[in-house]
Structure 1
Amino acid sequence: MTENVIRNNAASRFETTVDGVLCVLDYRLDDGVLTITHTSVPDDVGGRGIAGGLVTAAFDTARREKWRVVPACSYAEAWVAKHPDYSDLVSAR
């Protein structure tokens, strides 16, 4: 799913469009810390792993860029708890 996710720097979000529906992960980036503030996948396309793909793309980008990650949104926080291979990137709030 991450292959269709792009980073929209101007809007501070990762995004993908599925069946014409925009899905987003909003973030803040300050001094090498990526704070995931919100993940939104409309019900019309829910249940397909899209939110997980958005969070994976954010964490993969953070790893490449050597950033820390604060999973401030509840979805991202739950996601990282299920993916301990990314826990080394997690920073305290």
Structure 2
Amino acid sequence: MNATITDAADRHRFEAHIDGSLAGFAEYLRSDKLVVYPHTVVEPAYEGQGIGGALARAALDDARDRGLPVLATCPFIAAWIRRHPEYKDLAYQNRSRVSD
């Protein structure tokens, strides 16, 4: 199915529309150092039609374009990254260390 994906920055999410109807969205929290994807929703009428994947790809491409690492707390986005090795380099690597 052909969805139009847009960055609805005022709502902090990428949205997928089909024929003017909201088919799904991927929420984000973005700073100048990191983007977090906490939640993705695909409306039941559009499940199994590639909407989630289109949202994941658009969100991750945007992170790459901005040069931001990705913290995917959304299980769908995290699993999508694991299945698409070309996006694994975006994964946030926590390099902080705590010592006594």
Same fold flag (TM > 0.5):
yes
Where structure 1 has 5 or more consecutive residues not aligned to the other structure, the ranges are: none
Alpha-carbon shift at residue 32 of structure 1 (Å): 2.4
Alpha-carbon shift at residue 42 of structure 1 (Å): 1.2
* Aligned ranges 1:38-77 → 2 under 5 Å: 38-77=39-78
**Structure 2 equivalent of residue 23 of structure 1:** 24
**Structure 2 equivalent of residue 5 of structure 1:** 5
Contact 1:25 1:40 in 2 (8 A): yes
Cα RMSD after superposing both structures: 1.9
Tell me the TM-score normalized by structure 2. 0.84
Where structure 2 has 5 or more consecutive residues not aligned to the other structure, the ranges are: 95-100
Moved more, 20-29 or 74-83: 20-29
Cα deviation code 1:33-55 (max 9, x no counterpart): 11001000011111011001001
Number of matched pairs: 93
Contact 1:24 1:54 in 2 (8 A): yes
Contact 2:23 2:46 in 1 (8 A): no
Moved over 6 A (4+): none
Tell me, what secondary structure is at the counterpart of 2:10?
A: coil
Tell me the TM-score normalized by structure 1. 0.90
Identity of aligned residues (%): 31
